[in-house]
Structure 1
């Protein structure tokens, strides 16, 4: 294919993709496409490659970019593994763009380019020797930590410089220690012949001379260096402490016999003392300092590579500190594993950490708790800004694998406030979610489908909320209220008309799969055919009924109340009837639920009478009829018990006569309620008929 006229104005670079045939290594040659040839005559004749239909219209010399000496195209290069005695061949020849592989600067500026025993001109990237030389030149003493050049920042380099200076000073002091000091013992009686006065026999005097090796000078120098290291940034401190540990671990005691000179003068006492300080500090740093994971591992691996003497074997595994994201540690801190052990590949693994590590973790967790307290306010302030959808998501979003989401720490009251905000688009006027005050509009509320999903997700991720009847009553109350909120924070309840039976069955059929996916934290889409705009309130209420049923079936023993859940339905008795019918499928669940409600009624008689006074006889009548007309006699006992409370406290129920009229209009006396229920209802009606 012949290039177009426009394409002919650009230059073409032909690069071989076969590295084996290339002699340029990793060289890079670039061509300036804007540069034009000086004379038109310099264009070469047109060359056509018939196999690939490629036409080369002209060629020109490329601009040579900076490159390593071994990649130079102008001067040949000879490679050997580690020859540094003198320049090989023409390796010393350079062009203007040749760089020294070791110094990483222009070859013309390299001071060791042709220096015997160094000869940087022979360096290349295919030799391990020269690679190590380059790493040491660029990383300095940090090369012993096996750090990548990308890992080395200003803090690490500063720590490496201080460590190098310390090693030089330590070498001098350690040599003094190895030389020792000659100490003259107390003069002893001469046993030689002829016997001389004490102190005058050269033989006895020479025997009484002993070389003493005092480590005090080294101990003082190391201590001063560690004090200096503790004032540096964490990365520099870690490098300095690890480097000091390696150096003192190499120190040997030249004394043939044990010399008890004190804890600073005796090497076998002083070195463990210094290592104890070093490892304790490093243990805390590995917990408290947010080192990158790769740097954390390299610090630990470096300490593991130190060859410890026999008197320091106790420190061998002292830096095997679990990272915060370790599976066993994470499950223990989250309370998912209370034994501190797990089985890995058939072997039991235990969580055991030294006291400094545990103390450091406590400090970190306390700091995280303070930060977590601030982070937990983010959803509230998102609501204050009117961004209710992001607020709902942020409640469920964990910061990392160890941290829990804000929803895990919600109280029942906070759960109610958030649902109010999501439902109405209004927020409390204070600076904190717990501050009392007037409510103000902040933005558009969440749609019902989003609201029910987020509300259930909050319950499913917080077991204390999930088993709290207050939270379920809150959910029912919110779903049965309008999206208008009074400034005082009171919701306006709605009376929803009972939807068709087929609609109820359709929502119930779909709800099982939806709730299962919500528990699994799957992003659920509500079926538009069921959660239609016309009946979305009713559909959400039915979905909540199904969620309550599942909760009661699994966690009934944990419930402390059920009456408040029943009362939360308000005038939507059809939804409450739906719940009670489903709970009646299991005999043990039916008995447990009824016993809870009866206990609540017995303990809260005064509260119920006051509540019924406010709600009026119409509500009380429908409430009693709901239970009295149940097909299960056990459920009817709730209506009978409530009726007895009213009959025993007629002086507190001036509306009871209206309730009697409600029973007449409902034809309750003539319904087949059963012997006990029929007798009690008739007895109650007769009370007012005889007045």
Structure 2
């Protein structure tokens, strides 16, 4: 029988033989044909050696293989030797491509399919380190598989580094003297161990393992959430199994030994895991498997504090859900005869806040922060201070105004801790019904409307209540200037997020007296709820902004009379009135009867005009000649000997900057006409007007 296939093997069949009827004939060069074969009916003219197909190393027909259950420290026998078709059982690659073929602590050359250990390694390689998570096939998507593959590589790398740490160096010491007092050679005493040599092991530093884990965690944080969570859980399990073989040694560096390094690494890993599980909506089945996997990690004694790190309420927990929906306002309940409350750690609370902020769930966030408990009372109070801000973001401005004065045990109310910037932002939100688009009060670059602003009578009462509860705000002129600007502006914001100044018509003398008569002492207004009735009556008579500004002026007067000795600015207050000089006049007139107060205010204002000429000049240029003329007349026409000094100082600023004051000539003519009857009587008025006129003439001659 002859093979007709060029590449096929030749099989001879002898029907006369009963059992061995198949004879494989090797290549004719190695096995030449015998002469007696020429007499047979079948003559073999060509044969070829059988081709060796790809196979696992343990099935190699060329080199013998030695099998044991688990040996990964060094290659056994001739297991490291391979033919050209040998494949790694774990990697499913040619042995030449296996990076861990003979690597100590891995040794893939010893792997075979009869060992449970190596089968588990093979399963882990197929799923990328995910076999321990007991995942179903539909749960392994692209992100999970990516995390598993990275985890598998990390497990191999960290095993190598950890093995290096364990190997270290061994140093043999001298034999100890026998304690049983027998004259025996070392090693001969069966009762005293001191005859045995004392072997001291000097282990290498754990730093290389720590650095590898830290680098892996850094890499995990750059991956997608699903991949990251599997990577971090796998890393936590790996380092939890590491032993510190020199627990009493003094090593340098906080990552030099497992007892020092593992808690640090676990702290970072668990912190990230907490954020991942809170911020992401993992399917419930997967979420349960992740938390169960973490609970199964055999934590060492020095890591017991992390045992309950992932034991916090899931989003679908009954108590948490009822609180977020507003069905439970206490955050407590009885469940199976046990009292439950929402007690959570700082990283979990931070993650919940971040998620609700991202989803704009401000009402839910307010309900959560009101009831959640935390061991760090100062930290949680910092977030509770933002409750009024979150209420404003949800459109509940009235609730926010009340929340500023809500007290918590040991911390007082939020109003007492407000900074000047925060006060200004709240004031702007209450007046306009708009809120900053950012997450913080200080992030006020962009604003958008969310609801109706507060009614003026309620706004005024809450403002004075806030000022009288916060000493730093009450004594700061910038606080009062911001209140003046709020009532001297339109109830809307410009494109730049600033209040738009309004020019209010001066009310009649009768209206002013009526408002001042109905309004009571400011401190009483802030504390007495019955004052709302009087305020509603005042604001119901028409001209609400004018009425509000008159009452604010009264509050500023009281503050100046109390704080004039420590007052550090009055220019802020003066400029805040803008074009409403009638209100500024209403503020200054009562001060004339208090000589010491007026002298202190004028001295302060003159000093500020000397140092802040640019601010004053900017105000003059913004409002124009009509404003400048009326402002100068307000001071120059005063019968008090100190007030005209302010007008003179303003004229000096104009004279020094005539090149940027094209309206100065109009102001000069206005003053010459208006001030003529007062020139001889008012203090230094004629000389001030003359100075402005002479400067204008000199500039005209130069031109």
Which TM-score applies when normalising by structure 1?
0.45
Which TM-score applies when normalising by structure 2?
0.44
